[in-house]
Structure 1
Amino acid sequence: MPTLRPLDPSFPIERQLGVEASPVVLVNVVTLDPGDEQAFLAAWEEDALFMKRQPGFISTQLHRALGDSPTYFNYAVWGSTETYAAAFSHPEFVAKLSHYPASVVATPHLFQKVAVPNVCVA
């Protein structure tokens, strides 16, 4: 079972779920013991395949840190905080959390795109 650690302790993911926003981007930095990488990747793949079938899922991408660091970064786009919350509280997903190695520490946080004139769109 992974340990969840807030990116911003003053506004953890549980509080973020109460904010109505659409769309949202989940950013999750994951650290783990090097010997647990294959088990982590298998569990993440299983979860990603489940999430792809959930209402509101748009996309996801997993990234690995360079070199010997067993640190991963997941970026997932959801239609809204409501659809994200429904998927992540789904009993099938909650049951899958036990498949993760005990060394996994996940740091999830929700974001929205920001428009900056002449640079990027929201």
Structure 2
Amino acid sequence: MPYMRPMDPAFPIQQQLGVETSPVVLVNLFLLDPADEQAFLDAWTDDAHFMKAQPGFISTQLHRAVGDSPAYLNYAVWESSARFRDAFTHPEFRAKLSAYPEQAVASPHLFKTVTVPGICVA
């Protein structure tokens, strides 16, 4: 099971799960030992198949750091924080966490889009 390190210790994912908003974007940074990359990819792929089948899931994209850094970033879009919470706290998903390498560090955090006039829309 990966170690969960909050991206923002003042408002970790456990607190964010109680905030009702929509849509939401999950950003999850994974830090790995190089020897654990394949085990991580196998576990993440299994999780992604589970999440993809959950109500409210829109999309996901996994990114790998450039160069020799075995860091990965997952970006997932959900219809709402409630739908993400249902999937993230689902017993089947929680059981899947044991497949991740023990040395892995995960930093999940929820975001919502922001409007910046002339640049981007929410």
Q: Give your verdict on TM over 0.5.
A: yes
User: Aligned letter for 1:54?
Assistant: Q
Query: Is 1:101 aligned with 2:106?
Result: no
Runs of 4+ in 1 over 3 A off after TM superposition: none
Letter in 2 for 1:82: A
- 1:42-77 CA-to-partner distances (Å, cap 9, x unmatched) read 000000000000000000000000111000000000
Structure 1 segment 53-64 matched on structure 2, within 5 A: 53-64=53-64
Match of 1:21 in 2: 21
Task: Give the number of aligned pairs.
Answer: 122
| Deviation, structure 1 residue 18 | 1.1
SS in 1 for 2:107: strand
Q: CA deviation at 1:24?
A: 0.2
CA–CA distance in structure 2, aligned partners of residues 27 and 12 of structure 1? 12
SS for the counterpart of 1:93 is helix
Kindly indicate whether residue 78 of structure 2 is the aligned counterpart of residue 78 of structure 1. yes
CA distance in 2, matches of 1:19, 1:96: 25
Aligned match of 1:32: 32
Gaps of 5+ in 1: none
Partner of residue 8, structure 1? 8
Identity level (%)? 69
Q: Report the alpha carbon displacement of residue 98 of structure 1 after superposing the two structures with TM.
A: 0.5
Q: Distance in 1 between matches of 2:8 and 2:81?
A: 17
What is the TM-score of this pair, normalised by structure 1? Answer: 0.99
Separation of aligned partners in 1, 2:91 and 2:10:
27
